[in-house]
Chains A and B, each alone.
Chain A
Amino acid sequence: MFNFAEFLDLPLIWYGLIATAIFLYVLLDGFDLGVGILFPFAPTDSCRDRMMNSVAPFWDGNETWLVLGGGGLFAAFPLAYAIIMPALYMPVILMLLGLIFRGVAFEFRFKATGRSRRFWDYSFHFGSLVAAFTQGMILGAFVRGIKVQGRSYAGGAFDWLNAYSVMVGMALVFGYALLGATWLLMKTDGITHIWARKCAKYVLGYVAIFIGIVSISMPAMNAGVKALWFSTPNIFYLLPIPVFTAVMFVMNWRNLHKGREYSPFFLSIGIFLAGYLGLGISLFPWLVPFAVSFRQAAAAPESQSLLLVGTAVLLPVILGYVAYCYYVFRGKTSDETLY
């Protein structure tokens, strides 16, 4: 039995890895969920065809990051997995149902005609919307804290449902819509492109408002978070994060107006990165806020070691071939309608 615990801080490494997997999920599935959120608002059916095609080769791989997030949490921090899932039972189930409806729409929509096609359009849209909204609610409930007794969840069935989680749910819907709109800027041209640019401009404003609300409410709700961010000298170390966020917004706004096609997507990723870092710093070292730290939830060192070997070898390989697949489908969706 090999065990790296003697010379590696395994729980910390896994905390970082799971956080990275979840972040990659948010970015990657974020843009294809975002495309689904914007879907019914597109000007024409042929725009919708192109939108769908711009993400069709990728959605399945993107969703795999969610499975890695869930499976990785189970593997590396089984206690956290065993507490969080029952605590967020209903939003998790709703998210899964949403993902089912949008996932099958990719295949079914193109095989359907007429009214049933319209049905799968809405299945794709509402599935994406519900998945994004429930993910936001999960985040909102998560940062408010989870009641724990012993080794299991001790709260009620509806602890996750409150005005705050609804607000974060809406915030994430707009966030994903921003990723989706800027993705479409890269992948489309013609009227779809023009429309996506208009969307991106509006959505960027809403995202700014929501990020502002979350940034203010986090320290306002939680004394620990307030102490972390607003004490000296922490405030000087942490100041770059809000400054970075603001710079990303301004640059994104300018680039959207200058007609740039690629940079808005990556600047939007920058916004997500800043928000995620801010959240991560606020919640560290909690894995089940404010009850179980990542050290308490860690799996046996033997288990974390075994999976670390595989991850160290396979994650670069995975990132390599995922990049290859994006490269294969580079370029814009065509201008002509091929039907």
Chain B
Amino acid sequence: MISTFDPVLLARIQFAFTISFHIIFPAFTIGLASWLAVLEWRWLRTHNKVYEDIYRMWVKIFAVTFGMGVVSGVVMSFQFGTNWSVFADRAGNVLGPLLGYEVLTAFFLEASFLGVMLFGWNRVGRKMHFAATLIVAVGTLVSAFWILSANSWMQTPQGFRVGDNGLLYPTNWIKVIFNPSFPYRFFHMVIASYLTTAFVVGGIAAYYLRCNRHIKQARVMLGMAMIMAIFVTPIQVVLGDMHGLNTLKHQPAKISAIEGIWNTERGAALRLFGWPDQAEEKTKYAIEIPKLSSLILTHSLNGEVKGLKEWPRDDRPPAVWVFWSFRIMVGLGILMLFTGVSAVILFFRKQLFNKPWFQRWCMAMTPVGFAAVLVGWAVTEIGRQPYVVYGVVRTAKAASPVMGSQLALSLCAFIVTYVFIFGAGSYYIIRLIGKGPGDSEKTNSIDDLKTPPFFRNPASEEGGEHV
């Protein structure tokens, strides 16, 4: 029975599982690293201890999250070979150097200076420590640059040729790196990370305010988070729209699936909800708003929108997944927008920090960023099926010559390990949150180590201007 598992499906499930698990951590650490850099900069400039307290609390959470991101990321760098070796062989000439640059320009930078950031308090000066934080923050962004360039190239490939042997060869690196969907995807993702972090920080600040703890720090945290919600969420909405139009141009089948449109039509209605049925080729139980789809996609009431029937059956993405992932993403975006608008109103009424309903609301919003990132990626990744390199390499023909049973076994091992590690990590993060910022008593933890580490330190004994 075990030998009847479909290796391609298992390889896809495994990749989807490991990448979804992995993306949770970068989505948080990209935003958190930048925010920590801002906090430390404010602290250096103002000497206000509140910023220091907040920094020292969140840097611990950063360390746990970053650690989990690293170990799940190492897995990703091997999965191209273990699960998708045919793809690795065919697309290696183009994608390999992009991933190579990610390691050289970002991973070493992050990994090396993370040590200074976490353990270097008494070993380097305050400015150098700030520089380390800044370098880690820049490293996360550079890493996002390369990996999103590689992903975007797989979505909208250009600057290559297909050799006689079926391998892909680069012909223009600038075109490869700055492929059509890359700028949109890059900014969309970076801003998504910032918003993810903002809503986590805001939620936890609201929790402290609800419990009447760490008031000073919580106000700063909530304020900073709401600045992001107010100013950055609208930018994200605009970027999302631009990204959508870019997708319409380069991957129209994905848009048709998002819209649940099967027949090409003029003046297409927006299907708010419904159930796209792949077999019957129609969207059942649809609630429609006339003409709106054409208006959004073509910016004209009677613009033509292509339907999925334009493509042969086996060239269509599985519409129902794309359709619903997209709606959840947009729905979460609307909730974020609502949070921002509420924050503005409360701010001008001078009630931002003392409305219990808003505190409860922010607490409930803590995980929305993660959810939006996951479903957003589901839209773009499922929407480009059945291709792994869009229009060039089919997913079904990219898998490794590995038996289904091996894949099933390793998939189980990954699920058990990840659930366990994720559970433990979440538990320790929740405990750190429970402890909160500021003068919590010393406990038996690495946190005390970070201040006076287990090292004899000649440098700090001489200097001693930083404590």
Instruction: Report which A residues bind B (CB closer than 8 A).
Output: 1, 49-50, 53-54, 56-58, 60-61, 63-64, 66-68, 70-72, 74-76, 78-79, 81-86, 89-90, 92-93, 96-97, 99-101, 103-104, 106-113, 151-154, 157, 299-300, 302-303, 306-307, 310-311, 314-315, 318, 321-322, 324-325, 328-329, 331-334, 338-339
On whether the beta carbons of B169 and A300 are closer than 8 Å, the reply is yes
Extra contacts besides A63-B70, A82-B81 (9): CB < 8 Å: A60-B67, A61-B111, A64-B103, A74-B80, A86-B401, A157-B406, A303-B92, A329-B120, A334-B453
List the one stretch of B43-51, B179-187, B385-393, B424-432 in contact with chain A.
B424-432
On whether the beta carbons of B456 and A99 are closer than 8 Å, the reply is no
| With A332-B456, A339-B444: A85-B101 Cβ-Cβ less than 8 Å | no
On whether the beta carbons of B428 and A111 are closer than 8 Å, the reply is yes
On whether the beta carbons of A74 and B456 are closer than 8 Å, the reply is no
Min distance, Cβ B162 to any Cβ of chain A, angstroms: 12
| With A56-B119, A93-B410, A107-B67: A333-B96 Cβ-Cβ less than 8 Å | no
**Bound state CA distance, A307 and B120, in angstroms?**
32
B238 contacts chain A at the CB level, 8 A cutoff: no
* Inter-chain contacts of B92 with A (CB < 8 A): 74-75, 78-79, 81-82, 299, 303
| With A72-B103, A81-B81, A100-B71: A57-B116 Cβ-Cβ less than 8 Å | yes
On whether the beta carbons of B89 and A103 are closer than 8 Å, the reply is no
* Inter-chain contacts of A72 with B (CB < 8 A): 100, 103
On whether the beta carbons of A86 and B452 are closer than 8 Å, the reply is no
Min distance, Cβ A40 to any Cβ of chain B, angstroms: 19
Specify which of B85, B406, B456 is in contact with A82 (CB 8 Å cutoff): B85
* Inter-chain contacts of B410 with A (CB < 8 A): 89-90, 93
On whether the beta carbons of A314 and B417 are closer than 8 Å, the reply is no
On whether the beta carbons of B421 and A104 are closer than 8 Å, the reply is yes
B440 contacts chain A at the CB level, 8 A cutoff: no
Chain A interface helix/strand/loop/mixed: helix
On whether the beta carbons of A66 and B74 are closer than 8 Å, the reply is yes
**Bound state CA distance, A82 and B88, in angstroms?**
6
Specify which of A76, A311, A324 is in contact with B96 (CB 8 Å cutoff): A76
* Inter-chain contacts of A324 with B (CB < 8 A): 112
On whether the beta carbons of B115 and A111 are closer than 8 Å, the reply is no
- Residues of B69-106 at the interface with A, using a CB-CB cut-off of 8 Å, are 70-75, 77-78, 80-82, 85-86, 88-89, 91-97, 99-105
| With A61-B111, A325-B113, A331-B456: A152-B86 Cβ-Cβ less than 8 Å | yes
B13 contacts chain A at the CB level, 8 A cutoff: no
Specify which of B85, B100, B107, B167 is in contact with A64 (CB 8 Å cutoff): B107
Whose C-beta in chain B lies nearest to the C-beta of A321? B112
Specify which of A64, A332, A338 is in contact with B449 (CB 8 Å cutoff): A338
**Bound state CA distance, A281 and B65, in angstroms?**
42
On whether the beta carbons of B449 and A104 are closer than 8 Å, the reply is no
Q: Counting chain B CB atoms within 10 Å of each CB, which of A85, A111, A153, A329 scores highest? A: A111
* Inter-chain contacts of B78 with A (CB < 8 A): 70, 85, 92, 96
